[in-house]
A and B are shown apart, each in its own frame.
Chain A
């Protein structure tokens, strides 16, 4: 009897403390309602609107808009640009992470800060710097023109602008990951007689593969979707220097809304695919790096 009373009293005390360390049921429901409403209004509705507008005149009009030659050219250019920019930034990310994570040298902190620099530059300025470098008013511009080298208003300029805006993605995933892993695995492999390349390919790369995929995924999403920087350097030549996001703008400004949203829906699908893969990768390796891009 006494034991029962004691246990009831203890349960009551636990309930009191628990009630004081979480919100009341009503408070919880209200907070959930606020959060869900805010996310629905600002995330789900815009996403739903893309597909609704794209299918407004039925599936036939949707598919016709996507099969249009200029749309296909824009899709092709976007794929080409990403296929060049992502591997280059991947290569840079691996090299920078190897140097920063495995060695000590003066200026390391400064180098890490400089790598993140492109994230704090407005996309429009990211395009402008290449216009200033290669444009008609620059020192290089006339020389390039004489030699028939096209950079601005052509694919190389679009690639350069894309490289700039996606520059930090892979490096900033790999640097903290490789720093955390230290150098013991590599030292063991080397002492067992592995060459430098063998150590990199068989030890380091498998160790960082999920973080690497994560960085590549984000890099690719931004490379295919970049608008501001590419818009400044592209020259907007239909069927020639239009990437998918630029083509969306052209169609939209021509009041061809179904076609604009049809191309936009492909980019939205790419974004959804990116989010799904990202969530899957986060389950595999707990590598969410927080905000910052």
Chain B
């Protein structure tokens, strides 16, 4: 849980924190690999939503260097397989995600991130 696809979709949403609030920095991440069924169509369909640099950065932080720095122009099956692995099979079960801008710590416990805001962080 907290797969990298999810990490790629979450930004800090504290009041006033609107710039440099993504990607969240991973902290003390306990990583677990779990197989997921491959669906080429899904991975391909997700490409336009993806923040490539954030994904590559997070994967490298966790020790996975399978993805190239730049998104390749040629999207073939082999690339989709690699991307599938990074997006869906790397799980962060414990640790935290920290906002690079305001420093808000979003803790992850048993695979569930707590994205609740404190009272002073909401409008």
Partners in one complex: no
